[in-house]
Structure 1
Amino acid sequence: MSRRIVLIGHPRRAEALDIAIKLVRDLAAADVEVTGPADELEAFGVLHEPNVSIADCRESMDGAELAVVLGGDGTILRAAELVRDIGVPLLGINLGHVGFLAEADRDDVHATVKKIVERSWSVEERMTLEVEVSIDGRVVWKSWALNEASVEKRARERMLELVLEIDDRPLSTWGADGIVMATPTGSTAYAFSAGGPVVWPGVDALLLVPISAHALFARPLVLDHNSHVGIELLERTGAHAVVWCDGRRSFDIPPSARIDVRRSGRPVRLARLSTAPFTDRLVAKFDLSVSGWRGMGPAPGPSEA
């Protein structure tokens, strides 16, 4: 078989098992191989299907056309960890609640397979962030994020005191519970919950959203996408913090640590089956009311997500 699709998912969801079997068998009928981590393929009950092979590392997934992800946004973020370095596009089939990163619905498996077989998808490159933590000028931890990197206090009773630096110039000192640094993709995730703006995916920008900051100048900021953000923790409060990337990878940091965040040169690639604009995705995912709209064409709904 010359065509390969990676399958990654959330096998603990009962509905994912049925969808995985349908997906594998429909793709087999079109002579498309399915590969993926052995433990997940076994949990899905498809490991012994004739067109299934094992790929337990990034290198063995190289050359695949797509990574089909069964689950919600958290599962898609986990899948991004596996395929970002090799550039395989992610196609999410939503089994979660909102599913902003997903492209297809759980009820559309056959239609999704048809589009995969016909190679009827486009690819969007989504900006990611590089994150470094330094102590006394020495880098002690590196990671990356698709949605956001956040610096948060570890102890409830201790507030962090942060100095914010933009492009090597100090901007402000905040007493806060933390700060979120988000991409446009992540503007509908943690940053949105913290009071940040929704940013369309085509906008090149980096968002900064303070978390419960005690300062007059503590509003969300929208920066140039090439801006370099530095955050220094002040020792005088004695507060320890934790750095999170996409809520999946974390590192505990002491007072006096420094966190540097900048745009990464390595994006995450998302496969898109629909040409519906981001506005329609917002309406569908947030169930926004558009009653009274008198524009041209049908009002957006779940089918436009």
Structure 2
Amino acid sequence: MRDKSLHRVLKGIPAVTSDRHILIVAHTGRPDSLAAAIQVCRQLQAAGITPVLSRDEFDDMKTSAGDLSPVDILGETIDVGDLEIVIVLGGDGTILRAAELARGCSAPLLGVNLGHVGFLAESEREDLTDTVVRVLARDYLVEERMTLAVQAWVGSEMIFETWALNEATIEKASRERMLEVVIEIDGRPLSSFGCDGVVISTPTGSTAYSFSAGGPIVWPSLDAMLMVPLSAHALFARPLVVGPNSTLAVEVLDRTQGSGVLWCDGRRTQDLPRGARVVAKRSPVPVRLARLSQGPFTDRLVHKFALPVTGWRGAVGEGTRP
């Protein structure tokens, strides 16, 4: 049965029109990413579509391609709500930045991996031309990924509010000081301990920081949240997986000698004094990812992590053997 979060985008022959707005996000500080962005711009222009760029990336690209015009500038000539899709050229960090740019609009993100693992990316550099052809034809699926709504409080004052696609991480601010925390699930305290920090993750982020900290990999089709302690000094400080309607909280205890810091997706940050409290729950606003195929998540794990599967034959009698 097809996942209910997947929606087929109708195929169509792209008309020569200027009312389609496709944003290109690239790591223009890297030569390979810069060249790929210029290639995509020219391919869109050849199809009669004016590409959309951020002002900074347009300025970077003009240095290498002075004849790049016409382009639209996001926030100047085109609003984020007008975007049809976002083509992201880079690694997972660039995709997280694109998610920030497109936050709140319905445009999906389609990543082309120019980095190392590129777990969120859908295609590779050598498939770039074909990927743009698929975008022009609107030949892709859209998958919704849950995000976190994150707040930081000191007493009755909310000092910070943001969101996260991968994770919200409460960390110690100085290397030599341990963070003393108490974790809470659904309004009830669970345990207190000293640690380097605590990761609160989505299924999407389960293959990122949470995974590096020893957390489980959670299939993205599962609605859940993870809480993973970082280097905890406690007997009961194991990764936890809770339902999507739960509320998770981490309090920085007054006995902490230093202070903490909150990071969301490694991009949005807030200092946490002693006594601060971070609350995370499911956000009503998902991130939408464009997919070019419905391959199983297992295959993505094997491919991205280069997992050894040589010798597998499949179960007898299930029609899986060649």
Q: Are 1:35 and 2:52 an aligned pair?
A: yes
Q: 1:1-305 to 2 correspondence within 5 Å? A: 1-45=18-62, 48-56=67-75, 60-295=79-314
Greater mean alpha carbon deviation, residues 170-179 or residues 40-49: 40-49
What code does the residue aligned with 1:160 have?
L
The question of whether the paired residues in 2 share the 8 Å contact of 1:57 and 1:82 is answered with no
Gaps of 5+ in 1: 300-305
The question of whether the paired residues in 1 share the 8 Å contact of 2:313 and 2:321 is answered with no
1:51, distance to aligned residue in structure 2 (A): 4.2
1:123-174, Cα deviation, whole Å (9 max, x unpaired): 1111111111111221111111100001011122221111111111111112
- Judging changes above 3 Å, is the alpha-carbon distance between structure 1 residues 270 and 57 closer, same or farther for their aligned structure 2 residues? farther
Measure, in 1, the Cα distance between the counterparts of 2:152 and 2:80. Answer: 30
Measure, in 2, the Cα distance between the counterparts of 1:29 and 1:156. Answer: 53
Give % identity: 53
- Judging changes above 3 Å, is the alpha-carbon distance between structure 1 residues 250 and 116 closer, same or farther for their aligned structure 2 residues? same
1:12, distance to aligned residue in structure 2 (A): 1.1
What code does the residue aligned with 2:132 have?
V
Normalising to structure 2: TM-score of the pair? 0.89
1:202-238, Cα deviation, whole Å (9 max, x unpaired): 0000001000111111110000111101111111233
Normalising to structure 1: TM-score of the pair? 0.93
Measure, in 2, the Cα distance between the counterparts of 1:172 and 1:70. Answer: 42
Q: Aligned residues, how many?
A: 299
Measure, in 2, the Cα distance between the counterparts of 1:297 and 1:37. Answer: 47
What code does the residue aligned with 1:13 have?
R
Measure, in 1, the Cα distance between the counterparts of 2:269 and 2:157. Answer: 18
1:244, distance to aligned residue in structure 2 (A): 0.5
Greater mean alpha carbon deviation, residues 182-191 or residues 162-171: 162-171
The question of whether the paired residues in 1 share the 8 Å contact of 2:72 and 2:78 is answered with no
Q: What's the Cα RMSD here?
A: 1.8
Measure, in 1, the Cα distance between the counterparts of 2:226 and 2:66. Answer: 42
- Judging changes above 3 Å, is the alpha-carbon distance between structure 1 residues 298 and 147 closer, same or farther for their aligned structure 2 residues? farther
The question of whether the paired residues in 2 share the 8 Å contact of 1:84 and 1:269 is answered with no
Measure, in 2, the Cα distance between the counterparts of 1:232 and 1:278. Answer: 34
The question of whether the paired residues in 1 share the 8 Å contact of 2:170 and 2:262 is answered with yes
What code does the residue aligned with 1:40 have?
E
- Judging changes above 3 Å, is the alpha-carbon distance between structure 1 residues 290 and 58 closer, same or farther for their aligned structure 2 residues? farther
SS at match of 2:214: coil
1:48, distance to aligned residue in structure 2 (A): 4.3
The question of whether the paired residues in 2 share the 8 Å contact of 1:126 and 1:270 is answered with yes
Measure, in 1, the Cα distance between the counterparts of 2:320 and 2:111. Answer: 27
1:11-56, Cα deviation, whole Å (9 max, x unpaired): 1111122212221222222222211212202312457434422123
